[in-house]
A and B are shown apart, each in its own frame.
Chain A
Amino acid sequence: MPAIEVSGLKKKYGDIQAVDGTSFSVEEGEVFSLLGPNGAGKTTTIEILEGLRNKDSGTAKVLGLDPWASGYELHKRIGVIPQGFKFLDYPTPKEAISYYGALFGKKVDPDELLRRVILDDASNVWFQNLSGGQKQKLGMALSLVNDPHVIFLDEPTTGLDPQARRAVWEVVRKLKDEGRTVMLTTHYLEEAEELADRVAIMKHGKIVAMGTTEEIESRFGSGQRMVVKGGDDLLKYLRENTRLRVEGGAGEVTIFLRDKADAMAALGAIEESGAAWEDLTVRRDSLEDVFLKLVGESGGVGEGGE
Chain B
Amino acid sequence: MSRHIAAAAIRGSHKIAAEAAEALNMAIAAKGDDYRFEFPDTAFYLPHIFGMTGMKVETLGQMKDALDYAKGMLSAEPAQEEYLPYLGETLDAGQATLFAEEILLASRYVLGLEPVVEKIDGSDFTYNGFISDTILRDLGIQLVDGSMPGFAVIIGKAPTDEIAVEICRDLQQRNILTFLCGNVDGDSVTKQLLRKGVDLGWDARLVALGPETYHALYAGDWACRGALTFGGKKGGDALSVLKYNKDRIFAFAMVLGPMNDLIWSTGAGAITYGFPAICDTEVPEIRPTGVCTYEHVVSQTDHKKLVDTCIETRGLKITITKVPVPVAYGPAFEGERIRKEDTVFEFGGQKTTSFEWVTTKELSEIEDGRIEVIASAETLAKIESAAPGNTVRLPMGLVIDVAGRKMNPDFEPVIERKLHDYVNCAQGVWHMGQRDVNWMRISQQAFGDGFRIKHLGDIVYVMVKNKFPAIVDKVQVKLYLDDDKVKEMQEQARAVYKARNERVASLTDETVDTFYSCLLCQSFAPNHVCVISPERLGLCGAYNWLDARAAYEIDPTGPNQPVAKGECTDPVKGRWKGVDGYVFQTSHQTLEGFSAYSIMDAPMTSCGCFECIVALVPEANGFMIVNRGYTGMTPIGMKFSTLAGTVGGGVQAPGFGGIGKYFITSRKFLSADGGLKRVVWMPKSLKEALREDLIRRSEEEGVPGFIDMICDETIAEDSEKMLEFLSEKGHPALTMESIL
**Do chains A and B interact in one complex?**
no
**B interface, CB within 8 angstroms of A:** none
Chain A residues in contact with chain B, CB under 8 A?
Answer: none
